[in-house]
Amino acid sequence: MMDFARRFFSRPTALFGFAVFAAIVAIALAAPLLFARGPFNIVGMPLLPPGAPGLLVGSDVLGRDMLVGLAFGARVSLLVGISATLCAAGMGVLLGSVAGYYGGLVDDLLMRVTEFFQIIPSFVLLMVLVAFLQPSLESAVIGIALISWPQVARVVRGEFLTLRSREFVQAARTIGMRDAGIIFTQILPNALPPIVVISSMMVGNAILAESALSFLGLGDPNLLSWGSMIGGARSAMWVAWWTTVLPGVSIMVTVLALNFIGDGLNDALNPRRRR
């Protein structure tokens, strides 16, 4: 573990990404403690500039505190990003491991299903799914997970095709271990590094997808996210730049930090880089 941490933090961009993402998560978790009023409370005149009395980063088009909105918006964006990635990774690992381990007809069938989801424009499919399920936090998570799992499934399938003929797998079959035990206790732990790397980057993609949905009005109307902040302020972006720039920068910094973390994980977990 110490060796992994040393390799990971030896990359300056990975250290920077980890520090930035940790700070964003801390702010999101502490938002209810840091700000007594909620993000929908009106605290002053609309479009007050940054530095106005009691408003460090100004107010939005409705007179709500932008700083409070950014903190609470981080909670929603991170919750959707992490939850959707966990669901997508679970689906992808399950289907990819079964396809790669058994091969043959099972592999062909599951890969055709995977290709079906990949040939459809992903964001169009996401909008249709969310609109069909009614815009909400749960429908956003389900929709993003359904368009994200194929890339995990393909990575896992490739790893299983490589590992299923190794000596330790043959030894497990020889001693009578069941297929489920071989998949989840023998092969999957050895296939985890690429899964961890791709999952870290999928969180950023999920945050971008949720922000796009909220910008188009397909997010949860009862919650404030960075995307809905931009969407609600687009009519005032030319006269009050902070209403759109600040949530946009928050999205950009979070996704960039996650990409840096993914690069660091790839360096730390890649055997070739390790040597």
Work out the burial of residue 103: count CB atoms within 10 Å of its CB; fewer than 13 is exposed, 13-18 middle, 19 or more buried: middle
Q: Are 229 and 273 in contact, with CB atoms under 8 Å apart?
A: no
User: pLDDT 10s per residue in the chain (275 long)?
Assistant: 677 788 888 888 999 999 999 999 999 999 999 888 889 988 889 998 998 888 899 999 999 999 999 999 999 999 999 999 999 999 999 999 999 999 889 999 999 999 988 888 889 999 999 989 888 999 999 999 999 999 999 999 999 998 988 888 889 888 888 989 999 888 998 888 889 889 988 999 999 999 999 999 898 888 999 999 999 898 888 889 999 999 999 999 999 999 999 888 888 876 555 55
3-state secondary structure the chain: CHHHHHHHHCCHHHHHHHHHHHHHHHHHHHHHHHCCCCCCCECCCCCCCCCECCECCCECCCCEEHHHHHHHHHHHHHHHHHHHHHHHHHHHHHHHHHHHHHCHHHHHHHHHHHHHHHHCCHHHHHHHHHHHHCCCHHHHHHHHHHHHHHHHHHHHHHHHHHHCCCHHHHHHHHCCCCHHHHHHHHHHHHHHHHHHHHHHHHHHHHHHHHHHHHHCCCCCCCCCCHHHHHHHHHHHCCCCCHHHHHHHHHHHHHHHHHHHHHHHHHHHHCHHHHC
Name which of 257, 155, 274 is nearest 203 in CA terms: 257
Q: How many other C-beta atoms are found inside a 10 Å radius of the C-beta of residue 154?
A: 20
- Report the number of distinct structural domains present in the chain: 1
> What pairs with residue 52 in β-bridges?
55
CATH number, domain containing residue 193: 1.10.3720.10
Residues spanned by the domain of 205: 2-274
